[in-house]
A and B are shown apart, each in its own frame.
Chain A
Amino acid sequence: MLQRSLLTILVLLPVAGAIAAVAYGMAARRGETAAKWIALGFSTATFALSLLLLTGGGYADSAAFRFEQNLPWIGAIGARYHVGVDGISLWLVILTTLLVPISIVSSWHAVEKRPLAFYAFILLLESAMIGVFVSLDLLVFYLFFEASLVPMFFLIGVWGGERRIYAAAKFFIFTAVGSLLMLVGIIALYYIHLRQAGFGTFDYTTLLASLRSSQMVLGPDAQFWLFLAFAIAFAIKVPLFPFHTWLPDAHTEAPTAGSVILAGVLLKMGTYGLMRFNLALFPDASRYFAWVMITLAVIGIIYGALVAMVQPDVKRLVAYSSVSHMGFVVLGLFSFTEQGMQGSLYQMLNHGVSTGALFLLVGMIYERRHTRLISEFGGLAKPMPWFATLFVFASLSSVGLPILNGFIGEFLIMLGMWTSPALSQTWARVATMLAATGVIWAAVYMLWMLQRVLFGRVKNEKNKRLTDLNWREMGLLLPLLALMIYMGVYPRPFLNRSRAAVELVRSRVVATEGGGVIAER
């Protein structure tokens, strides 16, 4: 029973929480303050339940989906409610369920305006995000992918900063418009399957099986257009250069909880989609487009880092660093090597943990000073030693210091790219070397920012009286810091569980009909 419906419970539990919060909020007089407790309760329960996914066992040995539930949904068009997890989605689901309670606690005192609606939207968002990672039916996937926009739109628009309306509208329009063509692609896939295999389907596993058994063959033209339709939707979400312009605005204006979730989970939907759908369903087009994606990724890495360097606003700096880090993820995916792709997946988790922590820390000083301008700070280490320690910690993790998590991911990605079959040997190495400069740039902008914010004399009078982190704030950050060290020292449990699933995707891309690798380019 639990085995089959666990994922459905995970998807629906936060919605139930949202309904409960709203119902209680309307019924009880002090319901608005109770909302955060209800939200925390439901999201913690979701997290606890999501840990049960680890008991699935055997992730290391087979790429099969676990905790599958497959029910008829719309008979008329052959859409099914099909959910399941494998080694790829497992960790992304847990990352989601971990970050949501953390972001709820981070808003404990920060959100005073309409708390009921705020927490209800966060819970709805959680449902949509879990839904994205577990759905195995393309229509259901699209449903959750789009549905996640609405709560985030409200979170930015109602609880955001000064330019929140602009940022919210830009966020919504960019991402919604980007994914519309994917819908056309999904329906087109249905019909191609109908024509070739005799029945139409939106089911990912069925589509994959038909492709592997050559019951369905996607010609070069079909793959070309389908790849583009899907890739544009995901590239905007990631965001890949040059589709990244919505991200700095959205991040900067979003409330802390929104930024944490946006950076931690929403961006991963893009890279997850590229991995799950683009690589596995359109392998020939993936190889054909590999150089484009790699080039854009490398540009994103360097461009994001350079722009981050000159930002006067800490939050904007972290936002641009996301562009750079997500570039690494895309680079790893399109290296088509085991190290590279595993590193990509690992880097998705890393980025969620370290950037999440950075946004939390930025939110904490913002709560105290109501500014995020680097020039306003200086010497914060003196009044706030704990804050400074943790900030340095999280920044170094983001930079990729060995023994912290960021290092493993970036190292694997570059290792993979060096031997990548996606490009000729020379170009693969050039790309790797260029990407490697991104790590150096990251050190430059992060350390420089730390220096200006934390060290030196306390120049600004207002900064002298700042209080250090309280227990709630420490409690928020410690799990993330523990994860940074754990993931940096002992990545085996993570990488082991994802290997089989990643290898399956890789084998789709690398194995061509002729057995050779990427001859057509």
Chain B
Amino acid sequence: MNLCLAMQTAQAVSPDINFALIMPELLVSVAGVLVMLVDAFTRRSNQRWVTGLLSLVGLGAAAAVCVLMWDDQTTAREAFNGMIVLDRMRLSFTLVFLIVSALTVLISMIWVEWEHLPAGEFHSLLLFATVGMMFMASGGDLVIIFLGLELLSIATYVMAGFRRTDLRSNESSMKYFILGAFSSAFLLYGIALVYGGTSLLNGGAGTTNIKELALRVGAENALAYPALLYAGAALMLVGFGFKIATAPFHVWTPDVYEGAPTPVTAFMAAGPKASGFAAFMRVFLFGFPFIAATTNAAQLHSAWINALWLLAILTMSVGNLAALVQNNVKRMLAYSSIAHAGYALVGFVAAGQARDETLQSDAIAAVAFYLLAYAVMNLGAFAVVTLIARSGDRRTEIEDYNGIGFTAPALSFALTLFLLSLLGIPLTAGFMGKVMVFRAALDQGFVGLVVIGVLNTAISVYYYLRLIVVMFFRERSTAWSAPAVPVSVALAIIITVLGVFYLGIFPGQVLDAFRSAQPVVSQLK
């Protein structure tokens, strides 16, 4: 280890460039630039199809490269001096982001048309946000993770306010921007403190590399200011907590989700949340791991595990309890997304507690699977909500769903399926996701946490059922005609319905692919 530290302090800089390792990110970035270019030379009426298709092609190509990288043992496991890493965790999360973005493209197609919004700009922003998410998963260094986060955030601020003439959209964008900037500052300050905290007694500079971070945390006697690590970790926890909307850092979520255009809300609830988890987990699991026979690392580890344990309970409970009293569907789904972040945190805590590498990678896979399941069912639900809301997001109150069940049976049954999946009824993706994270947590002995999670599921029965009851069991008093379903949205709904069943009935394949992740960083422990 001393040798390692010495090498680091010697600052042996070689470029270590490996474009193959960032191929998916490159492809999506190129697609984003191309979309902007093509957009300028396309007739307005064709813009949304051309740029939409181009985006889908870019995302598809990136996904294909991802799959190719999956079992490739020969490629380097890291590049750019440890800035970029390659492991199953990164690939599985990247795949989740790509799926989220592709579905968002499909869902937003109709909306861009309704609102006469510039399609090309929207698609390129979406692609750049995706690149940001991908870097958050692939970054092996706090700096890369922060850059990815900012890239994602800035693109998303604009998307949230994309309907310029709508006050709610403006409000949403403004709130998201201010609070997002605030949380980024927390995160950045945390990174700075960690850098200071890892500086060495012998005058060696601190580090932002996650792998190096773990080594320094373990080498307690060599550190100049070990106490700074606690403050830094705490601030980073708050920063990430904001991004994935854990209680009590969730307050921005309902307002932002309600005001943003529905397809953007769908994206925000699924994508950035998943990328927040990817970065959060990588930093804390591999940067502040449990290291036997060290007081510093062990204390730090138990401190953040306890904090997350509490956050998980708070997040699940606050999300579900608040969702009970919502009368707006988007707001209800916003609180439900908070609750789901809480369930995913349960898996995160389990991964943090795991001493055994396979158990840990199983728990990480469980969280990734959970977020994938959540993304699929959530995007499906928002696709239906978008259609029912009509242009300008006018109809998003629960009242607006009164008795539409048999007037638009396909849409309503699809929405019912997504709600049941969010609730966690067997045969759906949501059920399997819950089984996986609860299983991981029980394995680490978190019985109380799991029981609270289950009781929270019991609470959530009420509000998910409420919407189903309103749709099917009530009669409609006012006239209502089913919205026409455009091809792209129909496609999105069909894909998500099939996805919900696929992940719910045959989760094995995906889980196996996500599992046996051998995170680079932990190999060195």
Contacts and interface: CB of A to CB of B under 8 A. Distances in A.
Interface of A: 72-77, 114, 117, 139, 142-147, 149-150, 153-154, 157-158, 164-165, 168-169, 172-173, 176-177, 180-181, 183-184, 187-188, 190-191
Interface in B455-473: 455, 457-458, 461-462, 465, 469, 472-473
Interface stretch (B33-41, B78-86, B320-328, B507-515): B507-515
24 contacts: A73-B506, A75-B508, A76-B507, A76-B508, A76-B515, A77-B439, A77-B511, A114-B406, A142-B426, A143-B431, A146-B425, A147-B425, A147-B426, A150-B420, A157-B473, A165-B469, A165-B473, A172-B465, A173-B462, A180-B458, A181-B451, A181-B454, A183-B454, A184-B447
Most chain B beta-carbon neighbours within 10 Å: one of A74, A169, A173, A190: A74
Contacts of B506: 73-74
A184 B443 contact: no
B181 interface: no
Contact of A169 (B443, B469, B474, B507): B469
A183 B474 contact: no
Query: Which interface class (under 10, 10 to 19, 20 to 34, 35 or more) fits B?
Result: 35 or more
Main secondary structure of the interface of B (DSSP, over half): helix
Nearest to A148: B426
A88 B157 CA distance: 61
B435 interface: yes
Interface in B32-82: none
Interface of B: 362, 365, 405-406, 409, 420, 425-427, 431, 435-436, 438-439, 442-443, 447, 450-451, 454-455, 457-458, 461-462, 465, 469, 472-474, 506-508, 511-512, 515
Nearest to A182: B454
Given A76-B515, A187-B438, A187-B439, A168 B473 contact: yes
A150 B406 CA distance: 17
B461 A188 contact: no
A146 B512 contact: no
Given A76-B515, A149-B425, A164-B473, A184 B450 contact: yes
Contacts of B451: 181, 184
Contacts of B450: 184, 187
Contact of B473 (A73, A150, A158, A184): A158
A153 B159 CA distance: 39
Given A157-B472, A158-B473, A164-B473, A173 B454 contact: no
Nearest to B454: A180
A191 B435 contact: no
Contacts of B435: 77, 139, 183, 187
Contacts of A114: 406
Nearest to A154: B472
B511 A76 contact: yes
B439 A172 contact: no
Contact of B461 (A77, A173, A181): A173
Contact of B507 (A74, A144, A164, A187): A74
Contact of A190 (B420, B425, B439, B455): B439
A117 B462 contact: no
B461 A177 contact: yes
Given A76-B511, A146-B425, A183-B438, 14 more contacts: A76-B508, A117-B406, A146-B426, A149-B425, A164-B473, A165-B469, A168-B473, A169-B465, A176-B458, A183-B454, A184-B447, A187-B435, A188-B442, A188-B447
A158 B412 CA distance: 14
B427 A143 contact: yes
Nearest to B456: A180
B134 to A, nearest CB: 25
B289 to A, nearest CB: 23
A188 B446 CA distance: 11
Nearest to A186: B435
A184 B425 contact: no
